[in-house]
């Protein structure tokens, strides 16, 4: 199986990874929850899509998470060339969620507090290159408004010890990744990269948000 991650820097001490200090705030600006079951989608990029996919699969109200690529075109949406940093793509995930159960702002809260470190520029933990950049791909003006407001809120509140480098950009397209990348953490729980990088995030999710995690 292809290894998509930089094994040279596989084990990065968690103490060296930037983290939020204190309780993580709820978004002051958010989209109202629907009064009836309504499917919506969100596209985030935060480093390895194995890890971000696994985090959001745990969240109540999330119906499906697909690993893939966003930021480039269809011709370059292939793992080998994306992984070499030769495209405009970022490893991203597409989240399908019920907006009557979880809001877009709540997704952002998980994205910033658990799924990745938004202070790392063009890298994430052991993985480096613009394909691992932090980005929010907005499907409409409402998503952009909430995302920009939350980043400003976190920045003004000095929630992180360093500046947030997350890009907020318009979603042009999302391309699903190859089949072997889907549900990678669930299918490969003993993979060294998963053990070192994904499982700690799943544990953090359960610790911080036990009521939000699927049983």
CATH number of the domain encompassing residue 102: 3.30.1060.10
Question: Into how many domains does the chain fold?
Answer: 1
Residue at 22 is within a domain: no
Residue 210: Cβ within 10 Å count: 8
More confident residue, 196 or 2: 196
pLDDT level of residue 12 (50, 70, 90 thresholds): very low
Summarised one tens digit per residue, pLDDT across range 65-87 is 999 999 999 999 999 999 999 99
Burial 45-78 (b: 16+ CB within 10 A, else e): bbbbbbbbbbbbbbbebbeebbbbbbbbeeeebe
Give the integer Cα–Cα distance in Å for 47 and 193. 13
Task: Record the pTM.
Answer: 0.91
More confident residue, 23 or 175: 175
pLDDT at position 215, please?
86
Residue at 215 is within a domain: no
Residue at 5 is within a domain: no
Residue at 24 is within a domain: no
Residue at 2 is within a domain: no
pLDDT at position 20, please?
56
Residue at 214 is within a domain: no
Residue at 53 is within a domain: yes
Domain that holds residue 35: 31-208
Q: Is 4 a catalytic residue?
A: no
Residue at 120 is within a domain: yes
Three-state SS at 24: coil
């Amino acid at each position: 199986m292809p290894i998509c991650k930089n094994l040279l820097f596989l084990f990065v001490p968690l103490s060296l990874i930037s983290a939020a200090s204190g309780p993580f705030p709820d978004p002051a600006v958010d989209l109202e929850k629907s009064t009836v079951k309504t499917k919506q989608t969100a596209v985030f990029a935060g480093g390895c899509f194995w890890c971000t996919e696994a985090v959001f699969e745990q969240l109540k109200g999330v119906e499906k998470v697909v690993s893939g690529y966003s930021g480039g075109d269809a011709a370059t949406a292939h793992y080998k060339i994306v992984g070499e940093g030769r495209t405009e793509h970022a490893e991203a995930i597409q989240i399908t969620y019920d907006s009557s159960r979880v809001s877009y702002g709540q997704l952002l809260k998980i994205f910033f507090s658990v799924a990745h470190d938004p202070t790392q520029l063009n890298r994430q933990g052991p993985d480096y290159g613009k394909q691992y950049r932090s980005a929010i791909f907005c499907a409409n003006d409402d998503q952009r408004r909430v995302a920009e407001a939350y980043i400003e809120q976190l920045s003004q509140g000095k929630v992180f010890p360093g500046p947030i480098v997350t890009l907020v950009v318009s979603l042009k397209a999302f391309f699903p990744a190859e089949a072997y990348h889907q549900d990678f953490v669930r299918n490969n729980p003993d993979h060294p990269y998963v053990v070192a990088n994904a499982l700690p995030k799943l544990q953090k999710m359960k610790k911080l948000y036990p009521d939000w995690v699927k049983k």
